[in-house]
Amino acid sequence: MLVSVAFAQDQAGKDQAKEQTGQVTQVNRLNNTVAVRPIQNGTVGANAAGSEQQFKVKDGVSLEDLHAGNHITYSVSDSAGTKTITKFKVQ
């Protein structure tokens, strides 16, 4: 019983949104997608740029104030292999 409870808690953690920071490289308002280059936190390798990632944006989240070059803090959920930004804040 303890093993199944631990497994359920681990699965719940994977479905929750993860907060990250990055730089917007592309905004596609027609397809409701955004490309973001993640920024690493910390001192070791902090200046190394990550590879650009494409995300869908959750319905109802406005992209009007988002532009390429913006630094953002964003939350991502992963459902069935599709990464979706659920919320973001321009820094």
Q: Does residue 46 form part of some domain?
A: yes
Question: 85, 24 in Cβ contact below 8 A?
Answer: no
Return mean pLDDT, the chain. 82
Which pLDDT score is estimated for 10? 46
Q: Does residue 55 form part of some domain?
A: yes
Q: Does residue 48 form part of some domain?
A: yes
CATH number at residue 47: 2.40.50.320
Mapped onto helix, strand or coil, the DSSP state of residue 4 is helix
Alpha-carbon distance of 86 to 73, in angstroms, equals 11
Q: Does residue 74 form part of some domain?
A: yes
Q: Which helix (H) or strand (E) holds 73?
A: strand 71-79
Q: What is the mean pLDDT of residues 64-72?
A: 96
| Residue 30 reports pLDDT greater than 90 | yes
Alpha-carbon distance of 34 to 20, in angstroms, equals 14
Q: Which domain holds residue 59?
A: 17-90
Alpha-carbon distance of 32 to 8, in angstroms, equals 32
Domain total in the chain: 1
DSSP code of 42? Answer: S
Q: Does residue 11 form part of some domain?
A: no
pLDDT per position as a tens digit, 34-57: 999 998 766 555 555 668 999 999
Q: Does residue 27 form part of some domain?
A: yes
| Residue 66 reports pLDDT greater than 80 | yes
Q: What is the mean pLDDT of residues 54-66?
A: 94
Which pLDDT score is estimated for 35? 98
| Residue 7 reports pLDDT greater than 70 | no
